[in-house]
Amino acid sequence: MPLIQRVSRDGTAPDITRPDPAKVISGDPVHSTWNLEDRDGLYAGLWQSTPGKWRVSYSEWEYFRILSGYSLLTGADGSVTQLHAGDSLIIRPGFEGTWEVVQTTLKDYVIRL
């Protein structure tokens, strides 16, 4: 493995998944994940989702930057965070709420378990 790697979808087949049906509130979101790093509880890559809304519960720490699209992250307390291209966020363990993809969203991410 090279010591420097460009974060890109080129040349990497995505893993295609959907949220657990019990967590889906609306739509039929399809997730495409290009996981480029997977070692010692650290994951990094690109993630894309088509529109839909589902419940989330974070046990991990995540940093991400929205590259395209529009989503809403709503906390259990009702707080709403709009996610637009260029936005960078950190989600800490313990966050619960919903993720709603309004327009197909692409983000890069780093997750630490």
pLDDT of residue 2: 86
pLDDT of residue 1: 72
Kindly list the structural domains of the chain, giving each domain's residue range(s) and its CATH number in brackets, ordered by start: 17-112 (2.60.120.10)
Cβ neighbours for 48, distance < 8 A, ≥ 6 positions apart? 14, 31, 32, 33, 104, 105, 106, 107
Asked if 30 and 18 touch (Cβ cutoff 8 Å), the reply is yes
pLDDT of residue 76: 98
**pLDDT tens for the 113 residues of the chain, in order:** 789 999 999 999 999 999 999 999 999 999 999 999 999 999 999 999 999 999 999 999 999 999 999 999 999 999 999 999 999 999 999 999 999 999 999 999 999 99
pLDDT of residue 63: 98
- Counting DSSP H helices and E strands in the chain, the numbers are 0, 9
Local structure of 98: helix, strand or coil: strand
